[in-house]
Amino acid sequence: MKPDENGKIHILGLGAVGLPLAAFLVEAGRNAVAVRTRESALSAERIHVTVHLDEGAVLKVPVETVPLSDLKTLDGIVVVAVKSYANQPFAAELRKKAFTGPLVVMQNGIGVETPFLEASSAPVHRCVLYMTSQRDAADRVTFRQIASSPIGTVQGSDSGLEPCVAALTTERFQFHAVRDIRCEVWRKAIVNAVFNSICPLLGADNGVFARDAGAAKLADEIVAECVVLAKTIGVSLTQAEVMDRIMQISEGSQGVLISTLQDIRNGRETEIESLNLAMARLAAEEEPPIPLEKTAFLGRMILAKSTKPGHLSP
């Protein structure tokens, strides 16, 4: 389906996901604008985004930006590419701006869409990202697509899903529509629970699982715990398929640092609450509780590295 190239696409967040997405959409002639969600070095009305691609290719694209506070209303597609821990206040902002959707949540984790479902009856879609992106400077990222990223509906009708996917898809950053996004969300959440805990604790890049048998064994143990939880709540996944995806990503992103390691090194909050610790909370609520000992322990280690003492989750 041909996208509506005149339809507005607002991208909330100028980070490792939002910057390349905005650049690729503008390059493809789409009406995309990057929405600044906080004061930063990227305060100009137009910035020149540099994206380093595979095989040394470099893309430079001028991208329009606007502060979220300046927008009285939000029409067209809104892509949420901020960190998931900020979802509650951003959902409140969208409600104030009479947002009608569709909204696409491009974040990792379990339940990250909940604040937006509570804030509006607008169509809400979840996107499961299969790409790696490392922010090298305020306006520069290194981007690699691992595979086409699925998008599915979590609120509203599926009728608007295909046009939304078409509007966001470009040659460099591809998406496809799926009917069962829940399975995709859990598969990727388990993958991210591995990368976002083990890599930062080892101080290693994403390629460590492809290089190191010990790291791969630990990853397999985390996956085994999480797959049991997923099956218990009705999500059918196998340990082998999740590990295959982990190794595919690891082999394709040698030298790339996972976002949690970048956040810790830069003194920023991490998204571990939506990954390992979200799964641990769900597991504890089951009757009888499901043991996620390694998954929860590694998550708490990440939380300890990224917060002040005394602020750990129970």
Tokens 């994403």, residue located? 206
pLDDT at 46: 86
| pLDDT recorded at residue 44 | 61
| Spatial separation of the C-alpha atoms in residues 248 and 313, rounded to whole Å | 32
Each residue's pLDDT tens digit, 183-192: 999 999 999 9
Q: Answer whether 90's CB lies under 8 Å from 82's CB.
A: yes
> For residues 51 and 27, is the Cβ–Cβ distance under 8 A?
no
Are the folds of 8-179 and 182-306 the same?
no
CATH of domain 8-179: 3.40.50.720
Q: Are 222 and 193 in contact (CB under 8 A)?
A: yes
For domain 182-306, give its CATH number from 1.10.10.10, 1.10.3720.10, 1.10.1040.10, 3.10.110.10. Answer: 1.10.1040.10
Position 243 pLDDT exceeds 90: yes
For 82, how many CA atoms within 13 A lie in the half-sphere containing its CB?
A: 21
Q: Domain coordinates of the chain in residue numbers?
A: 8-179, 182-306
Alpha carbon of residue 154 to chain centroid: 16
pTM of the model: 0.88
| pLDDT tens, residue by residue, 141-181 | 999 998 999 999 999 999 999 999 999 999 999 999 999 99
pLDDT band, residue 4 (cuts 50/70/90): very low
How confident is the model at residue 74, as a pLDDT?
Answer: 85
